[in-house]
Structure 1
Amino acid sequence: MKHFSELTASAERIVDAGEALLQRLGYNGFSYEDVAQMVGIRKPSVHHHFASKTELGVVVAQRYTHRFRQSLLHIEGSQAQAPERLKAYAELFEATFAQGRRLCVCGMLGAESDALPAELSTEVRRFFEVNLSWLTEVFRAGQGSGTLSARVPAEEAARAVLAALEGAMLVGRGLQSEFGPRRVMEVLLLSFAA
């Protein structure tokens, strides 16, 4: 199985196409033919880089999780207080949603988890675990400093935020509404205020 850090420029273009298709159509909604057309290559060339759709999906999810981790580190380095970190976190989802109501790669895959290959389900779970761990620490820090209410345990607050932001993207797409992750976080922060 390939790792996203080993990608050639050609393979990177295929992963970019796979990611965009996943965000719009889901894992079971696209084929290698769709990827080939989007990249402007023949289908056998896609198979040359990724022997299976599972391998492509795993690499897309790995890379997406890695980029998200990098963004979380950036938030930690640029935002000192928990409420500001949560707003910046919501902006990660908002930036994706602003691209034609695209969904989070792992949110979309999570919706299909019962029909995914085991290797891909593992990567999706890893994405959610990374996010929940980070959010839990943000809530613990905010509750400890008094910038966030301690009425809800940090772990539960973290789950609520992640579920709300993923859900905001789904509902926003379904309603064709601009009421996305940024606005949902603004509402949530009112309930988490100390």
Structure 2
Amino acid sequence: MRDFNNLSPAAERIVDVAEDLIQRQGFNGFSYEDIAQAVGIRKPSVHHHFSTKADLATVVTQRYVQRFSLALEALDRAGAEPRERLMAYAQLFQATYEQNRRMCLCGMLGAESETLPDPVRQELQRFFEINLAWLTAVLGKARVPEAPEASQLALLLLSALEGSMIVGRTPQVDAAPLQVTRAFLALWAS
């Protein structure tokens, strides 16, 4: 399997297209033919770079998890108050959603997790563990009397953000992730 940090320009373009297709259609909703057409190459060329769809999806997911982890580290370095950090976190989802209502890659894959190859599921699990740990830490710093445990609130917010992207697609709610986070913060404070 390839390392996402050492991709050739052609392989990187394949990964970019695969990421877009997964975010819009899911793992089971695209083929190597779809990628070949989008990139402007022949299908055997896609196989040359990624012998299996599982290899490609693993690299796509590893890269996505790495980028998201780096974004969380940047939020930590900003040193803002918990509420500001949570809104900045929601903005990560909103920025993805604003790209033609694309889904969080791992949210989309999560819906298909039972049919995914093991390496992809492992990366998917890593994404959710990283996010829940980060949210739990942020929420734990701002104790609100009578509020549930930080880990429960973390699961609630992450689920609400992922769900807002799904639900917001159909009625076409423009700022669904931000709206959900604002509502969460209003309820959390009361």
TM-score by length of 2: 0.96
Q: Partner of 2:123 in structure 1?
A: 123
* Conserved? CA contact 2:93–2:161, under 8 Å: yes
* Number of residue-to-residue matches in the alignment: 190
2:162 is aligned, of 150, 159, 166, to 166
Of all paired residues, the percent bearing the same amino acid is: 51
**Rounded Cα–Cα distance in structure 2 between residues aligned with 1:100 and 1:79:** 31
Structure 1: which 5+ residue stretches go unaligned?
none
Residue 179 of structure 1: how far off its partner (Å)? 4.4
**C-alpha contact (below 8 Å) 1:14/1:35 kept by paired residues:** yes
> CA–CA distance in 1 between the matches of 2:164 and 2:101?
11
SS at match of 1:175: coil
**2:183 corresponds to which letter in structure 1?**
V
- The C-alpha deviation readout for 1:46-99, integer Å capped at 9, x for no partner, is 111101000000001000000001111111122421000000000000000001
Contact 1:22 1:105 in 2 (8 A): yes
Does the aligned pair in 2 maintain the 1:75–1:88 contact within 8 Å? yes
Alignment partner, residue 192 of structure 1: 188
Partner of 1:82: 82
1:18 maps to what in 2? 18
Q: Which moved more, 1:117-126 or 1:181-190?
A: 117-126
CA RMSD of aligned residues (A): 1.2
Whole-Å separation in 2 of the counterparts to 1:86 and 1:150 = 20
Distance 1:79 1:176 in 2: 33
Deviation at 1:187, TM superposition (A): 0.4
* Equivalent position SS for 2:173: coil
Distance 1:75 1:176 in 2: 28
Q: Which runs of 5+ in 2 are unaligned?
A: none
Q: What aligned pairs does 1:23-172 form with structure 2 within 5 A after superposition?
A: 23-143=23-143, 148-149=144-145, 151-172=147-168
When the two structures are superposed, what TM-score results if normalisation uses the length of structure 1? 0.94
